[in-house]
Amino acid sequence: MQFLKTLILLGSFTLVACQHNVTQTKMTHLAMVHEAESKLDQSFYQFQQSAKKPVIALVLGSGGARGYAHIGVIEVLEKYGIQPDFIVGTSAGSIVGSIYASGKSAAELHSIAMQMKVGDVREINIGFKGFFDGKKVEDYVNEQVGQTSLEKMKIPMYVVATELKHGKKVIFNYGNTGQAVRASVSIPSMFVPTKIAGQEYVDGGLVSPVPVNVARDLGADIIIAVDILAQPVYTETSNVWGLFNQNINIMQNRLAAEELKNADIVIQPDLREKAHIFDVKGRQETIQAGVDATLQRLQDINTVLNKKKQSDPISESPLNAYN
């Protein structure tokens, strides 16, 4: 599947993890459990009440190697002074989001992406449940974030995965960052499910390819969502593998379409390449696609920020300084 193929490549840029503290947002359909609100949740809601400004969420979707486009999006937002108050990421988005949330700049993200080697994140370990166990992904992400746990990220970070047994959406925001990301990118049948506190977790893109609703449930006032899914219209369907890809693409796009209705801004980079799973060429072009798509939405972002400013007296929109 195109999605699976590309997502694995971002396995080349893959990172993420989390431990047994699985946080659940307040919405019951998220199927998250916790004895009490997590420390991160508590501090976030306190921030929301005292910030006196709209809370901006950056939502980074799944899409494998297309995830490099997330970096281009972040580069433009950073350049224009648009800082997310928290980040929600699924699969490839959890990798990029976690590294950025740890305190890396957009330029550092770009450098990490360009220097990453397939061997940094890939190891073949054939078993009954998959070809890759994801441990190198976990270790790579933790190395890039300086072993920082999720609750200590400089920008609050929420990682979406799927609990395998019941197919429930689960959000990690506490514990081992690399492990949470590993769970979020664990494509079924390719990656061995990630086991956390006795439960198995797989790719978050199965249930929420662009997790806008998670951000809304967490209290975001403004949601900037980045959709990097493969578009069915560009998928080759002349062979069995292509038809398999198309099934996944159609399913994911339908899931994403429902959630994207709840986003304030949707950024969709023009990504049509059909790169091999571990083809590391074209990274710069994919990053540039993210840059181009975000530049096209700058005025819309400014409009949304100004509308919120009118309803809630806040400081001037960061974009105004550049208009």
What is the tens place of the pLDDT at every residue in 24-66?
Answer: 333 323 333 332 233 444 445 544 555 568 899 999 999 888 9
Nearest to 63 by CA among 236, 268, 311: 268
- Count of other CB atoms within 10 angstroms of residue 66: 30
Q: Which residues contact 262 (CB under 8 A, 6 or more apart)?
A: 212, 213, 216, 223
**Residue 206 within a domain:** yes
State the Cα–Cα distance between residues 159 and 182, nearest whole angstrom: 10
Q: What is the mean pLDDT of residues 251-255?
A: 80
- Two structure tokens written together for 19: 């431990």
**Residue 80 within a domain:** yes
Q: Using one digit for the tens of pLDDT, what is the confidence trace for 96-131?
A: 999 999 999 999 999 999 998 877 776 766 655 656
**Residue 25 within a domain:** no
Parent domain of 150:
56-306
State the Cα–Cα distance between residues 85 and 157, nearest whole angstrom: 9
State the Cα–Cα distance between residues 115 and 69, nearest whole angstrom: 16
Q: What pLDDT shows up at residue 242? A: 65
pTM: 0.81
Q: Element (H or E) spanning 199, and its range?
A: strand 199-203
C-alpha torsion 295→153→256→239, nearest 10: 90
Q: What is the DSSP letter of 265?
A: E
C-alpha torsion 149→154→155→159, nearest 10: -10
**Residue 10 within a domain:** no
Listed ranges 60-69, 151-160, 244-253; the one with the highest mean pLDDT: 151-160
Q: How confident is the model at residue 3 (pLDDT cuts 50, 70, 90)?
A: very low
CATH of the domain at 122: 3.40.1090.10
State the Cα–Cα distance between residues 121 and 135, nearest whole angstrom: 8
DSSP secondary structure, 40-68, as one string:
HHHHHHHHHHHS-SPPEEEEE---GGGGH
Q: Using one digit for the tens of pLDDT, what is the confidence trace for 222-243?
A: 999 999 987 766 667 667 666 6
Let me know if 311 is a catalytic residue: no
> Catalytic pick from 12, 62, 91, 102?
91
Let me know if 91 is a catalytic residue: yes
**Residue 259 within a domain:** yes
Q: Is the dihedral of CA 299, 305, 306, 311 positive or negative?
A: positive
Q: How confident is the model at residue 317 (pLDDT cuts 50, 70, 90)?
A: very low
**Residue 34 within a domain:** no
For the CA atoms of the chain, what is the radius of gyration? Answer: 18
> Catalytic pick from 120, 203, 221, 227?
203
Domains identified in the chain, total number = 1
The answer, yes or no, to whether residue 244 has pLDDT greater than 80, is no
**Residue 160 within a domain:** yes
**Residue 176 within a domain:** yes
Nearest to 169 by CA among 23, 65, 48: 23
Q: On the CB side of 265, how many CA atoms lie within 13 Å of its CA?
A: 28
